[in-house]
Amino acid sequence: MSAPPASQPTVLDEIVAGVLEDLDVRRAATSEADLRAALADVDAPRDPMPHFRDAASSVIAEVKRKSPSKGELADIPDPAALAREYAAGGAAAISVLTEQRRFSGSLEDLRAVRAAVDVPLLRKDFIVTRYQLLEARAAGADLALLIVASLPGDLLDRLHDYARELGLTVLVEVHDEAETERAVELGAELIGVNARNLKTLAVDPDTFGRLAPLVPADRVLVAESGIAGPTDVQRFVDEGARAVLVGEALVKQGAPRDAVAAMTGLTR
C-alpha cells in the first residue's frame, strides 16, 4: 500500500474523526463531573513500570477483535475470559482496544476485563482529549496510549501531564525519528515503537532497530505490531525492547495462555 497524497486524510485522520463523533455521544450521556465522581470507586492505579524494568521480556497482551489492516480477527464474545488466559500466561499488562468503529472495542470491554484480572490494563484508543483519559481511569485503566502522530503542538504535553495527574502510566507511541525525538523531549518513560505505518498500514519490522538507538537507556521501550511469536520477541529484546505489545498473533490462535508464556521471560 502506498501513502495517500498529502491533501487526502490518512487512515489515522479518519479514525480520529470517527472517535470524535462517538465521543460527542458519550459526552452527552456522561459529564466530566460524573466521570470524576466515578474515580472514587476505582482501585488506585497499578504501576507496570517495575515489572517492565525488572523482568526479562514482558508481554502486553491485546484484546483485539478486528482492525483496519486485517479486518475481522476473532469474535471474542467474552473479553474477560481471554484476559484471564493472558494473565495466567504471565502477561505483564493487558491492552484493551476500546475504539468502536474500526476495532469493534468498547469501554464495556475494558470494564469487564478490569473486573476479571488484577494485572495493569492499557486503554488502547485514539486519545485526543482529557475526557478520554478520565474515561480510561474511571473504567479502571492503569495505562493510556498517546500517539505522537495524532497530537500536534502542545496537545501531547497537556494530555501527558493530565494522564500523569490521574495516576496513569502513559505509553507514548512513535513511528519515526521525529516522533521519537518528540517523545524523548517530552520525558516519556514508556515509549512504544509501532512498526505499523499509520498512513499505509504496512508493517516494517526494521522500524524498532532504527529508532531504539535514539532513546536514552533510562526509558523503557516497547515493540509494537506484527509480532508473530517468540522468534520475533527475541529479535526485539536483542534490539533493546523490554516489552512487546501483541494482538493478532494472540487472538487468532487457540491457546493464548501458552502463547503469552512462550513470549515471556526471553533474555538478551
Residue 202, sorted as left (phi over 0), alpha (psi -120 to 50) or beta, turns out to be beta
* Window 47-86: residues binding ligand LARABZUK (CB under 6 A): 62, 64, 67-69
The correct pick among 65, 248, 257, 259 for binding ligand LARABZUK (CB under 6 A) is: 248
CA angle 174, 19, 256 (to 5 degrees): 65
Q: Which range of residues in 47-55, 127-135, 160-168, 223-231 is near ligand LARABZUK by CB under 6 A?
A: 223-231
As measured in angstroms, the least distance from the Cβ of 226 to ligand LARABZUK is 5
Q: Which residues contact 228 (CB under 8 A, 6 or more apart)?
A: 249
Quote the CA–CA distance of 59 and 91 in Å, as a whole number: 5
* Per CB under 6 A, 225 contacts ligand LARABZUK: yes
As measured in angstroms, the least distance from the Cβ of 223 to ligand LARABZUK is 9
Quote the CA–CA distance of 16 and 126 in Å, as a whole number: 6
* Torsion sign, CA atoms 198, 258, 263, 143: positive
* Torsion sign, CA atoms 132, 108, 174, 120: positive
Quote the CA–CA distance of 268 and 266 in Å, as a whole number: 7
Asked if 92 and 60 count as a contact pair (C-beta separation under 8 A), the reply is: yes
Quote the CA–CA distance of 97 and 64 in Å, as a whole number: 6
* Per CB under 6 A, 128 contacts ligand LARABZUK: no
The correct pick among 94, 166, 246, 260 for binding ligand LARABZUK (CB under 6 A) is: 246
* Per CB under 6 A, 227 contacts ligand LARABZUK: yes
Which of 138/245 has CB closer to ligand LARABZUK?
Answer: 245
* Window 1-20: residues binding ligand LARABZUK (CB under 6 A): 11
Which of 35/236 has CB closer to ligand LARABZUK?
Answer: 236
Interface with ligand LARABZUK (CB under 6 A): 11, 62, 64, 67-69, 194, 196, 198, 201, 224-227, 245-249
Please identify every residue annotated as catalytic. Answer: 62, 64, 124, 173, 194, 224-225
